[in-house]
């Protein structure tokens, strides 16, 4: 079991102990369960879908198509990767971009003789900062949608559209400046390999294409995700059974999220919100929103973005502008420490396995340069 699973198990046991001892009232625990089971079910289902689609070669085929559209220029190819990463994050969640697209774009860069680092850094930064537009992009967004009482994903998108755009543009500008020499290179597009199984490839493409509109239809997001997962599991059971394994289920993330929900709810039951109220302040003016977003970003880099959101959510008071500012802080801010986002840790594991070197020191320094202006400008965009 990885450290994530161990921590999640410990937190879940702590939450169970809080219920048994009365620190967390049973009514509060039941309310947490009712709020979170659809979210966790969606996370499991969409992870299964994206893992199987990646196994079928769907993401690799898209990446190779981008290489041909790049016309031999690294900058043009990188811009296609930016679009790919943003769309993958917005519609299939930040973990899809960090975990599944990272090896795809790294191998794509190497396959065409380009340095992989600017492409790899693009996926992890946009996995975080690009996860503001739709509820399905991030666990925190799904929680915020529930807190706001929004039933239409497009209503959520209308609230977050401008901050989401800013949160994508600022990191991209930073990468374009830092890696301007690497992105000025030219390459000769390599011939892409054909899909190993055309039936699996086509079915995966159709399933993903149908899930995307389902996620913005207004129906509970777990329904299209579960339907897509069941279809792909059935097809893979017939054509490539060896791929179907327990590790497809992100059970470590489920343990971690479930434990965090219970532990933070226990802290709230014991007065956490009152203790933090003086730090957060009130109101929806620029200063108040920047204060809330900044505290969210600091909390995410200190302890992780999910508990940071859960701790501060009651202090957003259900105000759309304040909730949006909190989301900007906890989604676009965790670019400095490795543990600020689980997606970042998973991304780094993939880099290590691919032999791409990026020290945590350099990662943190780059994040310190990019995170503050990203959070500040995206927060100010809320007021527009």
Q: Quick check: helix, strand or coil at residue 359? A: coil
**Percent of the chain surpassing pLDDT 90:** 55
pLDDT tens digits for 176-204? 999 999 999 998 877 767 888 899 999 99
The overall average pLDDT reported for the chain is: 90
Indicate whether 218 belongs to any domain: yes
Indicate whether 63 belongs to any domain: yes
Indicate whether 7 belongs to any domain: no
Residue-wise burial string across 317-341, b where 16 or more C-beta atoms lie within 10 A, e elsewhere: eebbbbbbbbbbbbbbbbbbbeebb
The secondary structure of 319-332 as a DSSP string is: -HHHHHHHHIIIII
Indicate whether 43 belongs to any domain: yes
CA distances from 120 to 20, 30, 175, 186, 248 (A): 45, 41, 11, 18, 23
Mean pLDDT for 339-366 is: 89
Which residues is 186 bridged to in the sheet?
73
Indicate whether 13 belongs to any domain: no
Which range, 39-48, 68-77, 324-333, has the best average confidence (pLDDT)?
324-333
Q: Is 28 exposed, middle or buried (0-12, 13-18, 19+ CB in 10 A)?
A: middle
Mean pLDDT for 198-226 is: 92
Indicate whether 274 belongs to any domain: yes
Residue 191 φ/ψ region, left for φ over 0, alpha for ψ in the -120 to 50 degree band, beta for the rest? beta
Residue-wise burial string across 5-14, b where 16 or more C-beta atoms lie within 10 A, e elsewhere: eebbbebbee
pLDDT at residue 295, rounded to an integer: 94
Indicate whether 319 belongs to any domain: yes
pLDDT at residue 2, rounded to an integer: 64
pLDDT at residue 258, rounded to an integer: 86
pLDDT at residue 335, rounded to an integer: 95
CA dist 136 and 156 (Å) reads 11
Q: What is the number of domains present in the chain?
A: 1
Residue range of the domain that includes 287: 24-382
CA dist 178 and 186 (Å) reads 18
Distance from first CA to last CA of the chain, Å, rounded?
46
- Specify the range with the lowest mean pLDDT, choosing from 9-13, 37-41, 68-72, 300-304: 68-72
Residue 79 has pLDDT above 70, yes or no: yes
Mean pLDDT for 216-237 is: 93
pLDDT tens digits for 273-324? 778 877 787 888 999 999 999 999 999 999 889 889 999 999 988 899 999 9
Q: Quick check: helix, strand or coil at residue 73? A: strand
pLDDT at residue 56, rounded to an integer: 92
Q: What tokens does 117 get? A: 């680092």
**Number of neighbours of residue 355 by Cβ within 10 angstroms:** 9
pLDDT tens digits for 46-62? 989 999 998 999 988 88
Indicate whether 14 belongs to any domain: no
346 vs 135, which has greater pLDDT?
Answer: 135
Which residues is 73 bridged to in the sheet?
186
Helices (H), the chain: 3-21, 26-55, 58-69, 74-92, 94-95, 102-111, 117-129, 139-148, 153-178, 198-215, 222-239, 251-269, 272-280, 286-303, 305-312, 320-327, 342-354, 360-382
């Amino acid at each position: 079991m990885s450290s994530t699973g161990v921590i999640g198990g410990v937190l879940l046991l702590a939450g169970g102990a809080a219920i048994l001892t009365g620190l967390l009232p049973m009514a509060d625990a039941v309310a947490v369960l009712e709020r979170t089971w659809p979210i966790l079910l969606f996370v499991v289902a969409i992870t299964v879908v994206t893992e199987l689609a990646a196994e079928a070669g769907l993401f690799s085929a898209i990446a190779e198509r981008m290489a041909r559209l790049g016309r031999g220029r690294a900058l043009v190819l990188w811009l296609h990767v930016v679009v790919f990463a943003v769309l993958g994050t917005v519609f299939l969640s930040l973990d899809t971009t960090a975990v599944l697209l990272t090896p795809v774009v790294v191998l794509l860069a190497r396959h065409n003789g380009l340095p992989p680092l600017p492409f790899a850094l693009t996926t992890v930064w946009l996995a975080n900062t690009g996860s503001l537009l739709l509820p399905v992009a991030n666990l925190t967004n799904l929680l915020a949608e529930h807190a706001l009482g929004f039933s239409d994903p497009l209503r959520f998108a209308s609230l977050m559209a401008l901050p989401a755009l800013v949160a994508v543009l600022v990191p991209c500008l930073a990468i374009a400046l830092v890696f301007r020499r690497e992105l000025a290179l030219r390459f000769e597009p390599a011939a892409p390999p054909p899909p190993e199984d055309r039936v699996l490839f086509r079915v995966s493409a159709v399933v993903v294409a149908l899930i995307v509109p389902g996620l913005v239809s207004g129906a509970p997001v777990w329904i299209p995700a579960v339907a897509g997962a069941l279809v792909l599991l059935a097809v893979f059971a017939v054509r490539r059974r060896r791929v179907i394994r327990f590790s497809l289920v992100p059970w470590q993330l489920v343990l971690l999220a479930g434990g965090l929900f219970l532990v933070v709810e226990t802290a709230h039951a014991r007065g956490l919100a009152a203790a933090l109220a003086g730090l957060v302040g009130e109101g929806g003016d620029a200063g108040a929103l920047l204060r809330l977003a900044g505290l969210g970003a600091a909390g995410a880099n200190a302890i992780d973005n999910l508990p940071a959101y859960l701790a501060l959510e009651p202090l957003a008071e259900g105000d759309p502008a304040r909730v949006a500012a909190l989301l900007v802080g906890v989604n676009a801010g965790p670019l400095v420490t490795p543990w600020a986002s689980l997606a970042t840790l998973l991304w780094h594991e993939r880099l290590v396995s691919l032999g791409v070197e990026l020290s945590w020191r350099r990662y943190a320094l780059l994040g310190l340069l990019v995170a503050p202006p990203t959070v500040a400008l995206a927060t100010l965009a809320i007021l527009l």
